[in-house]
Chain A
Amino acid sequence: MRMDRRQALTMLSGLAAAGLAGCGGEPPLRIAVVWSGWELSRFRDILDERNAVVYSAGDNIAALIRNPVARTAAPDVAIVPRGLVEDHAICTRLRTVSSKNDPPYWQELLRCGADGSIKGAWFKVAHKSLVWYRPEAVPDPPADWESWVRMCESRAASGHPPLAIGAADGWVLTDWFENVLAGLDRDTYRTLHEKTGDWSQESVREALRRLARLWSIENLFPGGGRRALITQFHDSILDVFRYGRADMVAASDFAWPVIAQYRSPGQAARRFRFPGPRGRPAPPVVAGGDAVVALRSSGDRGGRLVEKLTGDEGVSRLERWAAAGGFLSLNPRVQGYPPELQNLAQEVRGDIEFDLSDRLTGRLAGGNGQGLWRVLTELFAKVAVDGQHPDQVADSAVQALRVLSEAGEGS
């Protein structure tokens, strides 16, 4: 009886181990990504590497690199949001790699650790300062924030909700905030991600007020603010380009594949730059991105793969994804973007500010019900659902942000 049990155990665990480890030769390179579904399929398509296992680590990717519970799942190479590089425990596990195609500003974003070297290369970046619209509903795009707000007011008053917004996703709201703040006060924007960042500055308050005033406009969103609060990013795109329930949606370049797939037949889609305040210099592009990093455990193979994914030899493969949309590369040789996305790759190589919410740490860091996401979601709910006074709501949001920033990293 006991012997049987032991045998059965050995056999079963052996089976399980064999099933997971694969067999023989050089072990496959393990590549962890945050994407799933469509993007994961795209990535597999362009990876074109026989001896590699690609898997979605999802939201667990940070912990998986920092302290893998399953050794067999510890990645050799990972494609991660930038915030992870800031994590000291992760940074020390990374090899020094970089891409000569990344502009200096972008390279600096990946510098970390005691040796201060660059620990990654940008694989996929995003242009977050765009507003997509139906040309028949918006004959002339607004030149600045003030005229945009006026346009929304008159359109809403005439009974057509002008704006769709995916307020169910916190990052949609942070993108709004970043665009408004970067237009108002770039210097403040640049300091906020630091631990000493002062969130009680007047420009932060002003940015929140502007958002609160816009979002409090009656009949601004299809179905009202209550529905906007539970509308996700993709749904907001459908509202505009599928159902025609709204005219415009502020969304990154990666809205394009969604528009292309789901728009009603013959529906045209155009875009304008997220408008800045009147009488100020044009605001910078707010950009985000995912970087490819190689772990020390990967040896030279990791470095080679980074080179392959971001360097010049991979250009033709990257163009396959670029042509499908939702993919901007910092490599200027990558061409073949859809006409709707022309020039965006150049713009993200130019005058940009990096996505603030991706750089926040401690209690301000994002996630559902957390940090900046939560403060903005509450601000949205208060003005768009409960109909509270915008300026007061903005003030209480500033207060909440100050509390979060002063609480630091917990203990």
Chain B
Amino acid sequence: MTGGDSFLFEVTPHHDMRAPATWHGQSRWGAWGYLLPAAVLAVVVLLAPLVATVVTSVTGAEGAGGYLEVLTDEDVWLALVHNAVWLVLALVVCGLGLGLAWLSRDAGPRMRRLLLTVLALPAVTSPLTAGVAFRLIFDANPSRGVVSALLPGDVLFLGPGWIWLVLGLAFVWQWTGLAYLVFHVGLANVPVDLLRVARVFDAGRLRRLRTVVFPALFPTAAVVMLVVLTAAVRVFDLVLIGAPGSIQTEVDVVGLFWWRHRNDLGDGRASALAILLFALAVAVVMLVIWRLRRDWPEAGPQRAEPHAPVPSRPRWGVQILAAAVALAWGFPFVTLLVTSLRSPDAVATSGWWSGGYGLGSYGEAFADGSFAGALAATAQRGLLVAVLVVLLAVPAAYALTPGQLPRRTRRIVAAVAVVLAVLPPQALAVPLGEVLGTLLGSAVILSFVHTALVLPLGVLLLRNAFTSVPRPVVLRPLAEGRSAMMRMTIESGPSVVAVAVLAFVLTWNDLVVGLLLNWPAADQAPLIVLQQARQFATSAGGLTAQAVVLTAVPVLLLSATGRWLIRGLTQGVRR
């Protein structure tokens, strides 16, 4: 492996990237120029507010003692412990995704495709929608909740203790698909030669797993774990909508605690808490990178084409299991859809199996026009963010390819990007809100905040894709002293699409940024859904209708671009 560029996602260039070292007319300053726009946005929107928060946290009324006060607060500790629970769940998600990917090798191509579709959909669903779906399924009223109807007993799933099961299931439901998808591709690329050698030397199944399969999966696992662990640190909307008000303190996480108590904590302590949350995210990510950044011996020349999945005959047991998993994963969607197709009164008083079908809930969802308006504004913002992210991330990623910036600089920039990719918005919200409120204050500004927040991940993904573009393709423009950026972008088409879709979906589903920056609900669709959910049961009809509409957009986008997305997300991950 060419050590230098294998930071975070182990990238395997197809050809020797080292020579020739200099190009006609391609100066180092040119490379900086490519990085500049992205860097400026990141500094203005991310780094400057972050620094301001750090400064506030040590210059507040208590000085640096604010950290100590926060850390000795019983409620903060509880929230930290809860965050740890979510991190453990994130590991469960990775394990489950790997297990399913392993099993599905024997499930036959059709079943594999079905699994892939059903499992991937929740990943583009907003946590808000997931919370709505699971709260419906586990409704404590036996006349409404399907679980309570089937298990008449004393177990109250939304109550103390059991709420963890509901929220945990929602989280697993949401993220397992992503792990499955990436591991699915990763497993297909496990070096067959090495496996064969191991088999020849009579290594057992377990041993083959340990010595060949797992090491080969490390780079893949880095991507999955970065995304899922970040999601675990940032858990917010799921808890906010999934748990009844009286249970919220029981499942408080640091991000939510900060939002609830930033006023009564005071500026100093609130900033200290936000920085702690950020530190937690960085620590987790560093751990992942440190664990996963080990080289493993090169298994002969890489094949240019990804292997076909290990061929095998579909096995019945596995097929049935896969079908069961697909059913279980589809169930929350079915619940949402069927519920939304009932009249609001029927939804409030009875379960989805008891009739009352009609389009009344959609009527209610769009009744006052504010939801439609918010949808338009949200979509507009999502598009703008997608365009901005691509425009900024493409040159920045190009600057991070070999032959542009010096190697050490590239590594530093990539490290900064990783850290910024996990930055929780809580660490920015207060200073950002003050500046935006007094200086800029226009509706377009939220797009720039979103752009800056998605940008680091976009740059990292594109950098991996660009680095794995076969060298001969870009040699010609480089030799002629021209930029190879366009060439690389075209070659990495799927990744560019993936980044644009990612940016749109993240913006479309966003609740946290809007909420923290005190955005009016009428301008961000998920905020309207949250407002509606105050009296959950009696508004569940309109709520599910809105959730279905909110989910339909990313799902349609996913089905339109799915093929590219899979390639785009895994491009540059050893293939």
Query: Which residues on A are within 8 Å of B, measured CB to CB?
Result: 5, 8-9, 12-13, 15-17, 19-20, 32, 36-37, 40-41, 44, 54-60, 63-64, 67-73, 167-170, 223-224, 226-227, 229-235, 238, 242-243, 258, 261-262, 362-363, 365, 367-370, 373-374, 377, 380-381, 385, 407, 409-411
Say whether B474 faces chain A, with CB atoms less than 8 Å apart.
no
B384 touches A64 (CB 8 A): no
How far apart are A99's CB and chain B's nearest CB, in angstroms? 26
B441 touches A68 (CB 8 A): yes
Say whether B319 faces chain A, with CB atoms less than 8 Å apart.
no
Query: Contacting B248 at CB < 8 Å: which of A17, A19, A227, A369?
Result: A369
Query: Contacting A410 at CB < 8 Å: which of B252, B265, B433, B515?
Result: B265
Say whether B6 faces chain A, with CB atoms less than 8 Å apart.
no
B264 touches A363 (CB 8 A): yes
A69 touches B441 (CB 8 A): yes
Report Cα–Cα, A13/B443, bound state, in Å: 9
Report Cα–Cα, A377/B250, bound state, in Å: 11
Interface-side segment among B97-105, B224-232, B283-291, B527-535: B527-535
Scan residues 251-286 of chain B and give those whose CB is less than 8 A from a CB of chain A. 252, 260-261, 263-266, 268-269
How far apart are B360's CB and chain A's nearest CB, in angstroms? 13
A73 touches B519 (CB 8 A): yes
Query: Contacting A73 at CB < 8 Å: which of B447, B523, B531?
Result: B523
Say whether B368 faces chain A, with CB atoms less than 8 Å apart.
yes
Query: Contacting A368 at CB < 8 Å: which of B156, B260, B519?
Result: B260
Scan residues 294-308 of chain B and give those whose CB is less than 8 A from a CB of chain A. none
Say whether B437 faces chain A, with CB atoms less than 8 Å apart.
yes
Report Cα–Cα, A31/B368, bound state, in Å: 14
Residues of B within 8 A of A56 (CB): 370, 520-522, 528, 531
Report Cα–Cα, A16/B448, bound state, in Å: 13
Say whether B339 faces chain A, with CB atoms less than 8 Å apart.
no
B244 touches A41 (CB 8 A): no
Query: Contacting A377 at CB < 8 Å: which of B143, B246, B384, B443?
Result: B246
How far apart are A5's CB and chain B's nearest CB, in angstroms? 5
Report Cα–Cα, A5/B394, bound state, in Å: 12
A230 touches B441 (CB 8 A): no
Residues of A within 8 A of B387 (CB): 8, 12
Residues of B within 8 A of A407 (CB): 264
Scan residues 429-480 of chain B and give those whose CB is less than 8 A from a CB of chain A. 433-434, 436-438, 441-447
Residue total for B at the interface (Cβ-Cβ under 8 A): 74
Query: Contacting B260 at CB < 8 Å: which of A20, A234, A367?
Result: A367
Report Cα–Cα, A58/B268, bound state, in Å: 27
Chain A CB count within 10 A is highest, among B377, B442, B447, for: B442
B246 touches A238 (CB 8 A): no
Instruction: Name the residue of chain B whose CB is nearest to the CB of A44.
Output: B368
Known pairs A60-B521, A70-B445, A234-B348; list 11 more (Cβ under 8 Å). A36-B532, A40-B370, A69-B517, A70-B520, A73-B522, A232-B245, A235-B537, A262-B538, A369-B245, A377-B246, A377-B249
How far apart are B32's CB and chain A's nearest CB, in angstroms? 15
B244 touches A232 (CB 8 A): yes
Report Cα–Cα, A36/B438, bound state, in Å: 28
How far apart are A321's CB and chain B's nearest CB, in angstroms? 14
Query: Which residues on B are within 8 Å of A, measured CB to CB?
Result: 60-62, 140-141, 143, 154, 156, 158-160, 244-249, 252, 260-261, 263-266, 268-269, 345, 348-349, 364, 367-368, 370, 376-377, 380-381, 383-384, 387-388, 391, 433-434, 436-438, 441-447, 515, 517-523, 527-528, 530-532, 534-539, 542
How far apart are A252's CB and chain B's nearest CB, in angstroms? 13
Main secondary structure of the interface of A (DSSP, over half): helix
With A68-B437, A242-B349, A243-B143 known as contacts, the answer to whether A369 contacts B159 (CB < 8 A) is no
Instruction: Name the residue of chain B whose CB is nearest to the CB of A374.
Output: B249
B381 touches A362 (CB 8 A): no
How far apart are A410's CB and chain B's nearest CB, in angstroms? 4
A55 touches B521 (CB 8 A): yes
B376 touches A19 (CB 8 A): yes
Residues of A within 8 A of B538 (CB): 234-235, 238, 258, 262
B159 touches A226 (CB 8 A): yes
Report Cα–Cα, A170/B534, bound state, in Å: 12
Report Cα–Cα, A292/B160, bound state, in Å: 39
A32 touches B520 (CB 8 A): yes
B520 touches A64 (CB 8 A): yes
Q: List 20 A-B contacts (CB under 8 A).
A: A19-B376, A36-B532, A37-B539, A41-B368, A44-B368, A56-B528, A69-B433, A69-B437, A70-B441, A72-B441, A72-B443, A168-B247, A227-B140, A232-B245, A232-B536, A235-B538, A262-B349, A369-B245, A377-B245, A410-B263
How far apart are B98's CB and chain A's nearest CB, in angstroms? 35
Report Cα–Cα, A63/B445, bound state, in Å: 17
Instruction: Name the residue of chain A whose CB is nearest to the CB of B37.
Output: A5
Report Cα–Cα, A72/B440, bound state, in Å: 11
A58 touches B443 (CB 8 A): no
A170 touches B264 (CB 8 A): no
Residues of A within 8 A of B444 (CB): 13, 16-17
How far apart are B554's CB and chain A's nearest CB, in angstroms? 20
How far apart are A144's CB and chain B's nearest CB, in angstroms? 29
B531 touches A58 (CB 8 A): yes
Report Cα–Cα, A310/B318, bound state, in Å: 68
A13 touches B349 (CB 8 A): no
9 closest A-B pairs by beta carbon, nearest first, are: A55-B522, A71-B441, A63-B518, A410-B266, A168-B244, A411-B266, A36-B531, A369-B249, A73-B520
Residues of A within 8 A of B517 (CB): 69
